[in-house]
C-alpha cells in the first residue's frame, strides 16, 4: 500500500458539568471545529513511527514498547482491525488544539490517529468504535476519565452525557456564540480530578451536595439551550462556575477572566474542563462578542477562540 490517508478530529469544550460528570452526573460538551488534530498515515521504510510535530516527539511503535498513549492508540487500533503489528508506516500528527487546557487535545489526537489508521487499512470505524478506542488511551492520560472527551470528539456533535449511560445529541434552540479564553497555564486534568477525588473521599456528603447541584444545573441548561433561552444559559454558567469554585478547581486567573468576560457584557461565563488553568468559556450575544474578546485579551488571555454552536 503506498497511498496517503488522513483524518481529523475537533477540539471540544465542556459547557456544563465537568468534574461532577466523573461521579455519574450529566455534562454537556460541544465540538470546537476551529481547533483540529490531523493525522496523516503513509507507507514508511523503518517500522511503524509516529512523528508528533507539536509535541516534538518521534516514537517507534511495537507491541513491546506500548507505554506511550499514542503508541497504545495505534496498537489497540491494529488489534481491533486484526491487522497485525508488522508494518512500515509513517504517522504524522499535527494539532492546533492547545494541550492541557480543557480542549480535549489528547482525545482529539487519539481520535484522528485511530480514524487515520482505520482508513489506511480500508476500515470505516464507527464513531462508537473510535470513542471506545480513544477512551482506552484517555485512561493512560487521565486515570479515571468520565468518557465525555472521547465521546464528543469521536461523534463531533454537541453532546449531553452521563457516564456509561447516556450519550444524546441535544437541540440548540438559538445559536450560541461562545468565547473561549485560555489562561496559558497548563494543569494536568489528572491532578485536579485526583484532588477532587481526595476531597470527596474525605467528605463525601459535602461533595455529593455540590455534584447534585451541578447535575441540576446541567439538566436546566439542556432545557434552556433547547428553548433558546440564552439569558438562562448564561445564568446557569455563572452558577456552575460557583460550584466549581466550591470544588476548588478554579484559580485566580480563571476567576479573573470570568469576571472580565461578564463585565464586558457576556451573559455568563465559567471555567471549563479540568481547571486550575486552561480555559474559560463565555456566552455572549453576537454584537457583544467583540467586546468580550477584547476584555479577556486585556485581562491576560493568551489565546481566544470564538465559536458558534
Ligand atoms: O480538561 P479536560 O478537557 O480534560 O476535561 C476534564 C473534564 C473532567 O470532568 C474534569 C474530567 C473527566 O474525565 O470528565
Q: What is the pLDDT along the chain (309 residues), one digit of tens a residue?
A: 568 999 999 999 999 999 999 999 999 999 998 899 999 999 998 899 999 887 777 888 888 767 788 999 999 999 999 999 899 999 999 999 887 677 888 899 999 999 999 999 999 899 999 999 999 999 887 777 888 889 999 998 889 999 988 888 777 899 999 999 999 998 888 899 999 999 999 999 999 999 999 999 999 999 999 999 999 999 999 999 999 999 999 999 999 999 999 999 999 999 999 999 999 999 999 999 999 999 999 999 999 999 998
Q: Determine if ligand 1 sits within 6 Å of the CB of residue 149.
A: yes
Are residues 200 and 145 part of one domain?
no
For 134, the grid coordinates are: 480513544
Instruction: Map grid coordinates 472521547 to a residue.
Output: 150
Among 128, 149, 169, give the residue marking a domain's end: 169
Are residues 268 and 152 part of one domain?
no
Number of domains comprising the chain: 2
Are residues 149 and 22 part of one domain?
yes
Among 127, 149, 169, give the residue marking a domain's end: 169
Are residues 195 and 161 part of one domain?
no
Phi, psi of 308 (to 5 degrees): -120, 130
Q: Provide the total of helices (H) and of strands (E) in the chain, helices listed first.
A: 9, 11
Q: Which of the following is catalytic: 82, 149, 171, 195? A: 149
Nearest C-alpha neighbor of 170 from the set 156, 155, 159, 154: 159
Q: Determine if ligand 1 sits within 6 Å of the CB of residue 98.
A: no
Are residues 153 and 16 part of one domain?
yes
Structural domain range at position 206: 177-308
Are residues 286 and 201 part of one domain?
yes
Are residues 10 and 120 part of one domain?
yes
Among 123, 149, 169, give the residue marking a domain's end: 169
**Position in ligand 1 atom list of the atom nearest CA 275:** 1
Are residues 11 and 110 part of one domain?
yes
Side-chain-side CA neighbours of residue 6 (13 Å): 11
Amino acid at each position: 500500500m503506498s497511498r496517503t490517508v488522513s483524518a481529523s478530529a475537533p477540539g471540544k469544550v465542556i459547557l456544563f458539568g465537568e468534574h461532577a460528570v466523573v461521579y455519574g452526573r450529566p455534562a454537556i460538551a460541544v465540538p470546537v471545529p476551529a481547533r483540529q488534530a490531523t493525522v496523516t498515515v503513509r507507507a514508511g521504510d523503518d517500522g511503524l513511527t509516529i512523528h508528533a510535530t507539536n509535541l516534538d516527539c518521534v516514537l517507534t511503535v511495537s507491541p513491546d514498547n506500548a507505554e506511550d498513549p499514542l503508541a497504545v492508540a495505534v496498537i489497540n487500533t491494529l488489534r481491533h482491525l486484526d491487522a497485525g503489528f508488522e508494518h512500515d508506516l509513517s504517522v504524522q500528527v499535527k494539532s492546533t488544539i492547545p494541550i492541557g487546557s480543557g480542549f480535549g487535545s489528547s482525545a482529539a489526537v487519539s481520535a484522528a490517529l485511530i480514524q487515520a489508521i482505520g482508513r489506511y487499512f480500508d476500515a470505516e470505524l464507527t464513531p462508537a468504535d473510535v470513542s471506545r478506542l480513544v477512551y482506552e488511551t484517555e485512561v493512560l492520560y487521565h486515570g479515571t476519565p468520565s468518557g465525555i472527551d472521547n465521546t464528543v470528539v469521536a461523534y463531533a456533535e454537541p453532546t449531553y452525557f452521563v457516564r456509561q449511560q447516556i450519550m444524546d445529541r441535544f437541540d440548540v434552540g438559538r445559536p450560541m456564540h461562545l468565547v473561549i479564553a485560555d489562561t496559558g497555564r497548563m494543569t494536568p486534568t489528572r491532578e485536579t480530578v485526583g484532588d477532587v477525588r481526595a476531597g470527596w473521599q474525605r467528605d463525601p456528603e459535602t461533595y455529593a451536595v455540590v455534584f447534585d447541584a451541578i447535575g441540576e444545573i446541567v439538566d436546566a441548561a439542556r432545557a434552556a439551550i433547547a428553548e433558546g433561552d440564552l439569558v438562562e444559559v448564561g445564568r446557569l454558567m455563572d452558577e456552575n462556575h460557583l460550584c466549581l469554585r466550591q470544588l476548588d478547581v478554579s484559580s485566580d486567573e480563571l476567576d479573573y477572566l470570568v469576571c472580565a468576560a461578564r463585565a464586558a457584557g457576556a451573559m455568563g461565563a465559567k471555567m471549563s474542563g479540568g481547571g486550575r488553568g486552561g480555559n474559560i468559556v463565555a456566552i455572549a450575544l453576537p454584537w457583544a462578542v467583540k467586546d468580550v474578546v477584547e476584555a479577556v485579551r486585556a485581562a491576560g488571555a493568551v489565546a481566544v477562540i470564538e465559536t458558534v454552536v
